[in-house]
Structure 1
């Protein structure tokens, strides 16, 4: 049930961002969708296990972090920086698991998964703020010039 609610939440926010967002919101929605689509593909090759380092999720989280960082560096918005920070927590989870195998599997799982909800909330808020700026000013530059 929890997974269904998350996927419903994710789908609604990504559709909103894709249709009503500017460039950064659309690209961020694309990164989120790619990460979700790649997740089941990873489990074909590696089992879902939190007792050891999860290399599949490490690759997905690293690719997502790179995508979000690229967006944050070019976007004319503040919220992508917060998303990169949240995604960094997932990478720290993998680093912690790699450096200290005595970390409880639930702590490792929570560090990987818990940032997904706030990340989606930031995407929702970013898209909403983009719409508000468009209404107020008629234009909202998506990307920085430099």
Structure 2
């Protein structure tokens, strides 16, 4: 339970930081990751049956988040969305792996599906900080490719 509280604390902090200090790509990414985390929390199966089979609701949510961040990778001038897209791709592969190995350990599945979200939040914090630095150094930071 403590791990969940810590994650949602990090999620809230990174989202607010990106919304207040980030450019439009950071804001879109933050809202997407925030909505995805809460949707995943709501879509998880009831206690006692979690992660014994593919978590379809979380898989669908992860694919949707992956799509938004892939679009952001293509359209924005930022490099960080590509990193998070790759992380989410690995997370989707974890779900697909359970389809092919249904007897997988539920704890390993849960951990492998969740760990990428922590890294994505840290990347968002670093990306927002770098955006602030570019603004301070150059006075502007173009968000979108022409």
> What TM-score bracket applies, with the shorter chain setting the length?
over 0.9
Moved more, 132-141 or 4-13: 4-13
CA root-mean-square deviation:
1.2
Give the Cα–Cα distance (whole angstroms) in 2 for the partners of residues 88 and 111 of structure 1.
Answer: 12
Runs of 4+ in structure 1 deviating by more than 4 angstroms, as ranges, are: none
Give the Cα–Cα distance (whole angstroms) in 1 for the partners of residues 145 and 20 of structure 2.
Answer: 21
SS in 1 for 2:54: coil
Aligned to 1:8: 9
SS in 1 for 2:51: coil
Aligned to 1:32: 33
1:47-126 map, 5 Å: 47=46, 49-126=50-127
SS in 1 for 2:140: coil
SS in 2 for 1:63: helix
Moved more, 15-24 or 98-107: 98-107
Give the Cα–Cα distance (whole angstroms) in 1 for the partners of residues 144 and 84 of structure 2.
Answer: 17
1:100-129 deviation digits (Å, cap 9, x = unpaired) = 112221221111100111100110010000
Does the CA contact (< 8 Å) of 1:89 and 1:111 recur in 2?
Answer: no
Gaps of 5+ in 2: none
The TM-score normalised by the length of structure 2 is 0.92
Does the CA contact (< 8 Å) of 1:90 and 1:111 recur in 2?
Answer: yes
SS in 1 for 2:52: coil
The TM-score normalised by the length of structure 1 is 0.92
Aligned length: 143
Give the Cα–Cα distance (whole angstroms) in 2 for the partners of residues 30 and 50 of structure 1.
Answer: 26
Gaps of 5+ in 1: none
